[in-house]
Structure 1
Amino acid sequence: MTTKYLVDPELVALLDQIPASVLTAETLGQTRAKAKMAVMASQASANLPQFSALSVSERFIPGLEGAPDVRVLVYLPTSVQGPLPALLWIHGGGYIMGSADAEDITVKSIVSAIGCAAVSVDYRLAPETPHPGPVEDCYTALKWLYTHADELGIDPNRIAVGGSSSGGGLAVASALLARDRGEIPLAFQFLLAPMLDDRTCTLAKPHPYMGEFIWTPEANRFGWTSLLGQEPGGADVSPYAAAARAEHLEGLPATFINVGALDLFLEEDLEYARRLMRAGVPTELHVYPGAYHGFRMVADAQVTQAAERDQLAALKRAFDPSRRSDKHLQAYHS
């Protein structure tokens, strides 16, 4: 059975252009190389927007003891006066692929539309670096952003953490670390189809209409196994590796989540949103019918444009200083 008949008509053509592939330890290098080439080809397109009113710089942040420096890209608007709100952006790729450079256009678009600063993290990838290396890289970048707020011209009380797919999972894990370590008062979680729960790999009755395209159950198992260094679904998985494992969500910042109705992560994202609301966390959730994982690659589709409008509007509201209150920060530190 195929679910292709459920796909939004504007999103169907892309599926014919992406050949089916199986992710294994043997094919991972080749898959990474193909993905990098695809990004380079896309960025060479003459149709890409120009972003003249922002600057981009590369920084290297000292990692944890024994770990390498963490590479980040820092995006600052040149036409907006500070102190600025800031987004720590974490790229996707199933914990095994991707880079900060690959999502350069995404981050530039956000900075340009919102007028915020952004720091994009080039965290180490699994399986070469399993948990906790990737999330500690992200947290290191987040802490650097917070402690260097004055230097960067950033408002330390208006910092959001966000990402897509595995980047969304690492964003939530970073937010959990920030809450539990009590070091950084985050303002917002900005999550695009976040990859949160290793137990999705082990469902006895998986959802019959999600996960056929782009990121499949087989790819998901490989991604989680690579990150965890063991088979997913076990009893001893850390919530800082698979954020859905967190027992308590109280004290997390307000959250935006969107996901496609055909995305493999649909149910784990719905459950995370439900639990956030049960924990008293202001949560905005959008589900887009006919959309599979990665549907944003079809930039001119109406559903993609709707998702873009929704997520930018949510981030603008989150960064609006008139909507901030001391009560949130008090709850965050309690």
Structure 2
Amino acid sequence: MDPELEAFVPLFPPADLSDPFTARKSFAELAARMPAPDTSGMEIEDRTVAADPDVPVRIYRPHLAHGAIVWLHGGGFVMGDVDTEHPWAARLADGSGAVVISVGYRLAPEHRFPAALDDAYAVLEWTAEHAAELGVDPERIAVGGHSAGGGLAAAVALRAREEQGPPIRFQLLNQPGLDDRLETWSARNFTDTPWLNRGKLAAAWRHYLGDTPATQPNAPANSPATSPATSSATSPYAAPARATDLSGLPPAYVATAELCPNRDEDIAYALRLLQAGVSVELHQWPGTFHGSQAIMSAEVSQRQIAELGDTLRRALAG
């Protein structure tokens, strides 16, 4: 592990999602301790996107922005909101110059799949419809997120492809949760890694998907058996790694942490995107663990945060 990160590991809450409500409180307390971002160069507005039900969003609008990203927070599908994501959404807007629409999607276990996906997709549609109001080019809209939010972003891209939805310019996937099967080497062996380990990851998927058995893993994304209107764990809209066809998806940036259970599924997904003809930038950050970019005093964390902004800026330019 990177020595700058190792000293802070004891300060992270236990890797436990057995009680989602206690975990939410600890997650909010951790987010509240983050250094305040510089928001002087942007306008920030809380809005509600009309949907069923309505979806809260927080919009970060830098001056002279031309593109936008629908941004989905992490938290294992059970934690987080626009307030806990504020330090990261604001930094992404500042670093990229893009309008960031941070989504307060519904959380599990109260609202299992496909609730969060439906919320995220509704915000994508709203963003495209309100591009002129937001001051952005409707052809320069990206989706992205961290952890569970990265998995949701990948699912939004799959759904937009299948439903001929709004065009997505780019996917910004930071340590995404993509595969409920937990069969990769990293998912099987990282049982005591900081913040996220196999046990916590398995609990997150249980909260999100319920107890539905994971059958028919090779069903296409748009088949009746895998409709996003169902609660089946078989759907690639729930676990994008289950999609058999990744062709025609937007270009992607995939970042992984060395000591993260999601690492190998993320690398495999990036390779499959490449093999399907999708342009991909893959960055494996050595010595890091899932969410360690929250330790912003570390040089590697500063590089990670800066790269997200720089990558999005390049993707939405030109």
2:281 aligned partner, one-letter code: E
Distance of aligned partners of 1:232 and 1:190 in 2 relative to their CA distance in 1, 3 Å threshold: farther
Query: Is 2:215 the counterpart of 1:230?
Result: no
Find out whether 1:53 has 2:34 as its counterpart.
Answer: no
Once residues 142 and 55 of structure 1 are traced to their aligned partners in structure 2, the CA distance between those partners, rounded to angstroms, is 20
Post-superposition CA distance 1:286-313 (Å, at most 9, x none): 0011111011011121221222233222
CA contact (8 A) 1:90 1:100 kept: no
Looking at structure 1, the residues matched to 76 and 213 of structure 2 have their Cα atoms a distance apart, in angstroms, of 14
Q: Is the 8 A contact 2:112 2:209 kept in 1?
A: yes
- Three-state SS of the structure 2 residue aligned to 1:199 is coil
Given the superposition, is the C-alpha separation of residues 35 and 135 from structure 1 closer, same or farther in structure 2, using an over 3 Å criterion? same
**1:138 partner amino acid:** A
Do the aligned residues in 2 keep the contact of 1:199 with 1:232 (CA within 8 Å)?
no
Shift in CA distance, 254/16, structure 1 to aligned 2, threshold 3 Å = same
The amino acid that maps onto 1:10 is E
Cα distance in 2 for residues equivalent to 1:320 and 1:304: 25
The 5 A counterparts of 1:202-213 are 202=183, 207-208=188-189, 212-213=193-194
136-145 or 50-59, larger mean C-alpha shift: 50-59
Displacement after TM superposition at 1:56 (Å):
1.0
Select which of 7, 10, 16 maps to 2:10. Answer: 16
Secondary structure of the equivalent of 1:260?
strand
Partner in structure 1 of residue 136 of structure 2: 154
Mind listing any 5+ residue stretches in structure 1 that lack a counterpart? 1-6, 322-334
Distance in 1 separating the partners of 2:191 and 2:275: 25
Q: Report Cα offsets for 1:17-36 as digits up to 9, x if no partner.
A: 22435321xx2211211221
- 2:228 is aligned with 1:247: no
Q: Distance in 2 between matches of 1:21 and 1:169?
A: 19
Mapped to 2, the partners of 1:226 and 1:207 lie a distance apart of: 19
Q: After the TM superposition, which of the residue ranges 189-198 and 220-229 deviates more from structure 2?
A: 220-229
Aligned partners of 1:253 and 1:21: how far apart in 2?
33
1:188 partnered with 2:170: yes
- 1:105 deviates by 1.7
Match of 1:33 among 16, 25, 34: 25
Figure out how many residues of one structure are paired with residues of the other and give that number. 302
CA distance in 2, matches of 1:205, 1:10: 23
Tell whether the 8 Å contact from 1:88 to 1:159 is kept in structure 2 after alignment.
Answer: yes
Task: Say whether residues 1:177 and 2:159 are aligned partners.
Answer: yes
In the alignment, the residues of structure 2 paired with residue 204 and residue 186 of structure 1 have an alpha-carbon distance, to the nearest angstrom, of: 32
SS of corresponding position for 1:198: coil
**Native 8 Å contact 2:48 2:54 kept in 1:** yes
Higher helix share: 1
User: Which residue of 280, 290, 307 maps to 1:283?
Assistant: 280
Deviations along 1:54-111, one digit per CA (max 9) or x if unpaired, are 11111111223xxx2111111112x32x5x1001100000001111211112111121
CA–CA distance in structure 1, aligned partners of residues 186 and 264 of structure 2: 12
- Paired letter, 2:202: R
Structure 2 length-normalised TM = 0.90
Distance in 2 separating the partners of 1:319 and 1:204: 34
Query: What per-residue deviation string (whole Å, max 9, x for no partner) do you get for residues 5-60 of structure 1?
Result: xx111110121122435321xx2211211221222233xx5xx3431121111111
Give the aligned CA root-mean-square deviation in angstroms. Answer: 1.8
Within the candidate set 53, 62, 87, 1:105 is matched to 87
Superposed displacement of residue 210, structure 1: 7.1
Question: What are the within-5 Å matches in structure 2 for residues 74-113 of structure 1?
Answer: 74-77=59-62, 79-80=63-64, 84-113=66-95
Structure 2: gaps (5+ residues) = 217-232
State the AA in 1 paired with 2:45. Answer: S
- The answer as to whether partners of 2:186 and 2:263 remain within 8 angstroms in 1 is no
Does the aligned pair in 2 maintain the 1:163–1:171 contact within 8 Å? Answer: yes
Secondary structure of the equivalent of 2:288?
coil
Aligned twin of 1:63? 51
Q: 1:220 to 1:313 in 2, by over 3 A?
A: same
**Residues 110-121 of structure 1 mapped to structure 2, 5 A cutoff:** 110-121=92-103
- Contact 1:210 1:262 (C-alpha < 8 Å) held by counterparts: no
SS in 2 for 1:214: coil
Residue in 2 that maps onto 1:331: none
| TM-score relative to the length of structure 1 | 0.86
Moved over 6 A (4+): none
Could you tell me the percent identity over the aligned residues?
Answer: 37
Structure 1 residues 232 and 306, CA, compared in 2 at 3 Å: closer, same or farther?
A: farther
For residue 15 of structure 1, what is the amino acid of its counterpart?
A: V
SS in 1 for 2:181: helix
* Larger relative contact order, structure 1 or 2 (CA cutoff 8 Å, min sep 6): 2
Matched letter for residue 9 of structure 1: P
Bigger radius of gyration: 1
